[in-house]
Amino acid sequence: MAAPLVLVVLAAVTVRAALYRSSLAVFIAERVEVASPLNAWKRVVEGLALLDLGVSPYSGAIFHETPLIIYLFHFLIEYAELVFMITDVLTAVALYLAIQDFNKVVFKKQKLLIELDKYAPDVAELIQTPMEMHYIPLKVALFYLLNPYTVMSCVAKSTCAINNSVIAFFILATIKGSAFLSAVFLALATYQSLYPLTLFAPALLYLLQRQFIPIKLKSKSFWLYTMQYTSLYLCSLVVIICLSFFLLNSWDFIPSVYGFILSVPDLTPNIGLFWYFFAEMFEHFSLFFVCVFQINVFFYTIPLAIKLKEHPMFFMFVQLAIISIFKSYPTVGDIALYMAFLPVWSHLYRFLRNIFILSCVLIFCSFLFPVLWHLWIYAGSANSNFYYAITLTFNIGQVSRVRQMKENRDSAKRG
């Protein structure tokens, strides 16, 4: 199985290397859909320049990366392109290994349930055969590496790729059952972009399931394990934040990174839902609506945790999708990460109604983004409403796809 993976990796690296050398790279890096204020490469370079001058990189209002990232690139700036390519490959390999392991678990469970005769007779086609499962990890790696969204994100050198990599390693650690590594990577992911905080719930559920600890509020072992995982997570988070403090010797990065994510001061258009809404709103109401919009990301965790407690991996997928749709500065790189998981649930596709229409909506929107941007910004014949209309359509497409996946999961379970 390693040979096809190597082939995919080679193809992906070739495509990226070719694009880095072409004139398209500059164009892609400027696209607002690919680079947000949080992760644009231009801003990393600006931060590095300030750092070299001995000024705090956060003293301007441009730089919003975490201190670890800036120190990473402080040493690796010469090899930036290589770093981004390696990051993408690492993400894909991590996802590959994680899904491989996950499939083994699913297969065992399926076999157990078949032997116990727990399945209803008419769900035979829902049961995955080993043959189908064999190719799923490869498909996941393929979906991630050759997804045009990932490629563009990598070519634009958006640091989103690094966040994705951290999240992929977190998933790998969780599936392998290592609570310590899982907590460390989750802390890193939270430190990087705050929203992965919500992945805490699915990870905990998965680890509990793996340890065969029943999820009951009265059981002692449940609380013990939860406390253990929580404290591991919090400790590593504190260690990372303190490390950042010692690197720069100031707390400037807290408002510059997390304040920037939460209060959404930069209203540059992107594929998210925030910018138009807050650009149009009276200043007076903005605090209230910022809270409402941000709660959107975190709130769904609770009902989903109750509903999907038996299927933590699916929960993880839905949560990743929710983050990438509702976060304050989404880019296509975020979407690419959750899209990579689609093959895992490919057996649900035959129940996925409207998949054709929804996929067409997403593809058409992806092409219309630059067209309407051109009409609005360069030609001046359209305005922001046109662009936001496409943003809305794109997000509605994403939301209804995730919703349908969720519904199918439910109906498959009932069956």
Partner 1 sequence: MGLLSDPQCRRALGRLLLRLNTPLCVLSYLSGLAWFLLLPLLAPRTYLSENAMGSTMVGEGSDLGPRALALARDFGEHRRREGGIPVSWLSHTMFQLGLEVHSQPFARTLPFPDEAHERYLVRGTNVFGVLRAPRAASTEALLLLVPCCEGGKNEQAVGLLLALAGYCRGQIYWAKDLIFLVTEHDLLGTQAWLEGYHGVNLTAMQSGPFPGRAGAIQAALALELSSDVLTSVDVAVEGLDGQLPNLDLLNLFQSFCHKNGLLCTLQGKLPPPEGPSGPGYAQSLRTLGLMVLGQAGGAPGGPHGLFLRFRIEALTLRGINSFRQHKFDLGALGRTLEGMFRKLNNLLERLHQSYFLYLLPSLARFVSIGSYAPALGLLLLVLALRALELWMRLSRSEEGEGEPPVGEVRGPSDPVPPARGGLLYLVPPILISVGAGAALYLLPVRGQAVATQHFPVGEAEAVVLALIGIYVAGMALPHSTHRALSGGGQRGWMTLKLLALLALALLLTCLALLNFSLGFLLGVTLVPPAAAVRPGGNRLPLALLLVLTTPGLSLFMAVLLERELLEAPAGLGEAWQRFLGALGQGLLQEHLHGAHLSPLLCLGAYPCWLLLWNVLFWK
Q: Give whichever of 261 and 375 is closer to partner 1, judged by the CB atom.
A: 375
Q: Is 135 in the site for partner 1 (CB under 8 A)?
A: no
Residue 402 beta carbon to partner 1: minimum distance, rounded to whole angstroms: 14
The amino acid at residue 139 is K
Residue 349 beta carbon to partner 1: minimum distance, rounded to whole angstroms: 10
Q: Is 412 in the site for partner 1 (CB under 8 A)?
A: no
Q: Which residues ranging from 339 to 358 are in contact with partner 1 (CB under 8 A)?
A: 350, 353-354, 356
Q: Which residues ranging from 75 to 134 are in contact with partner 1 (CB under 8 A)?
A: 125
Q: Is 381 in the site for partner 1 (CB under 8 A)?
A: yes
Q: Give whichever of 262 and 368 is closer to partner 1, judged by the CB atom.
A: 368
Residue 377 beta carbon to partner 1: minimum distance, rounded to whole angstroms: 10
Listed ranges 106-114, 197-205, 256-264, 363-371: which one lies at the site for partner 1 (CB under 8 A): 363-371
Q: Give whichever of 322 and 372 is closer to partner 1, judged by the CB atom.
A: 372
Q: List the beta strands (DSSP E) in 35-142.
A: none
Quickly count: other Cβ atoms within 10 Å of residue 398's Cβ: 23
Q: Report how many residues bind partner 1 under the rule CB under 8 A.
A: 20
Rounded to whole angstroms, the Cα distance separating 319 from 406 reads: 11
Residue choice 3, 75, 380, 414 for contact with partner 1 (CB under 8 A) = 380
Q: Are 160 and 331 in contact (CB under 8 A)?
A: yes
Rounded to whole angstroms, the Cα distance separating 316 from 312 reads: 6
Sign of CA dihedral 384, 387, 390, 395: negative
Q: Please report, for residues 175, 210, 299, the alpha-carbon distance to residue 216 in angstroms, rounded to integers and kept in the order given.
A: 22, 15, 22
Q: What does the DSSP 8-state code read for residue 129? A: P
Q: Give whichever of 106 and 399 is closer to partner 1, judged by the CB atom.
A: 399
Residue choice 310, 371, 410, 413 for contact with partner 1 (CB under 8 A) = 371
Q: Give the torsion through C-alpha atoms of 119, 124, 128, 129, to 10 deg.
A: 120
State both tokens at 108: 């065992």
Q: Give whichever of 62 and 382 is closer to partner 1, judged by the CB atom.
A: 382
State both tokens at 371: 């067209």
Listed ranges 4-12, 212-220, 332-340, 380-388: which one lies at the site for partner 1 (CB under 8 A): 380-388
Rounded to whole angstroms, the Cα distance separating 175 from 104 reads: 11
Residue 112 beta carbon to partner 1: minimum distance, rounded to whole angstroms: 26
Q: Give whichever of 139 and 210 is closer to partner 1, judged by the CB atom.
A: 139
Residue 155 beta carbon to partner 1: minimum distance, rounded to whole angstroms: 20
Q: Give whichever of 94 and 358 is closer to partner 1, judged by the CB atom.
A: 358
- Transcribe 176-220 into DSSP letters: HT-HHHHHHHHHHHHHHHSGGGGGHHHHHHHHHHHTT----TT-H
Residue 103 beta carbon to partner 1: minimum distance, rounded to whole angstroms: 20
Residue 131 beta carbon to partner 1: minimum distance, rounded to whole angstroms: 13
Quickly count: other Cβ atoms within 10 Å of residue 393's Cβ: 15
Rounded to whole angstroms, the Cα distance separating 359 from 404 reads: 13
Rounded to whole angstroms, the Cα distance separating 79 from 77 reads: 5
Rounded to whole angstroms, the Cα distance separating 268 from 271 reads: 10
- The residue among 185, 195, 192 whose CA lies nearest residue 229 is 185
Residue 148 beta carbon to partner 1: minimum distance, rounded to whole angstroms: 14
Rule CB under 8 A: which residues touch partner 1?
125, 350, 353-354, 356, 360, 363-364, 367-368, 371-372, 374-375, 378-382, 400
